[in-house]
Amino acid sequence: MVTDDNLLVLSNGDLQVTGRLVDASNATLYATSTFEDQSIVCIYKPIAGERPLWDFSDGCLAHREYAAYLVSHHLSFNLVPLTILRDGPYGFGMVQQWIDIDEHIDLATFFSSDHPRLRSMALFDAIINNTDRKIGHLLPVDTQSVFGCDHGVTFHAEDKLRTVLWQWANEPFTAQEIILLQNALLELSGKLGELLAPLLTDIEIQETRRRVSELLHTGSFPLPNPNWPAVPWPAF
């Protein structure tokens, strides 16, 4: 999914809007980016089309979407489709490669399974403090590969984790997951932290590091916050 060619086309292509996802609360446009003889179908979310949120008053949703991609990419989760920030016909915003899902997979059943990619998604969401992991935000390409989308309400400084992926709550991390978290702490204090600095507030980046440290300290997946709804509404 993330290749030099795809990045080149998505970044430099002529962005043509061909439709709109009408169920989205913010402007979410279906588009095609064409560069030379290559085209990529994508989602374009212009910042000008964002609705203000009282609890995410700093920055913009597009920056958080891109920040989530950077975390996924640099920590080798590879759960977020190729995402960039660029200008477009309705102004600067987030552009993300479109993912065709396997329509034969029943999401209503799939989301509660013990799938290893969903487990990775649960850990990823705990790191980025995802407050909106709905069933419909899961994109199974096939029975092995799964992506996630809609990461605009993430990285809040307060504990606001809301997800449908609670099947591993309080389960101990594997040795591989602990290594990933240790690497995350190093990256967030180094190159990844530098990349996130223009996108998030200082306190949000500090709290992301704190969450990773806390996960390492407990050694297990988080439990739902008793002072915050554990599951987004609607769940799908």
Residue 234 forms part of a structural domain: no
Residue 223 forms part of a structural domain: no
| pTM score, whole prediction | 0.96
- What is the span of the domain harbouring residue 34? 4-218
Mean pLDDT of 40-55: 88
Residue 236 forms part of a structural domain: no
CATH number of the domain to which 16 belongs: 1.10.510
How many structural domains are present in the chain?
1
- Give residue 52's pLDDT: 75
pLDDT at 3 over 90: no
- Give residue 1's pLDDT: 56
- Give residue 2's pLDDT: 67
- Residues 84-99 have pLDDT tens digits of 999 999 999 999 999 9
Mean pLDDT value across the chain: 94
| Burial environment of residue 230 by CB neighbours within 10 A (0 to 12, 13 to 18, 19 or more) | middle
Residue 143 forms part of a structural domain: yes
- Residues 178-195 have pLDDT tens digits of 999 999 999 999 999 999
Residue 158 forms part of a structural domain: yes
Residue 220: how many other CB atoms lie within 10 Å: 14
Residue 224 forms part of a structural domain: no
Residue 233 forms part of a structural domain: no
Buried (b) or exposed (e) across 165-185, using 16+ Cβ within 10 A?
Answer: bbebeeeebeeebeebbeebb
- Give residue 25's pLDDT: 76
Residue 8 forms part of a structural domain: yes
- Residues 190-209 have pLDDT tens digits of 999 999 999 999 999 999 99
Residue ranges of E strands in the chain:
14-20, 29-35, 38-46, 83-86, 93-97, 138-140, 146-148
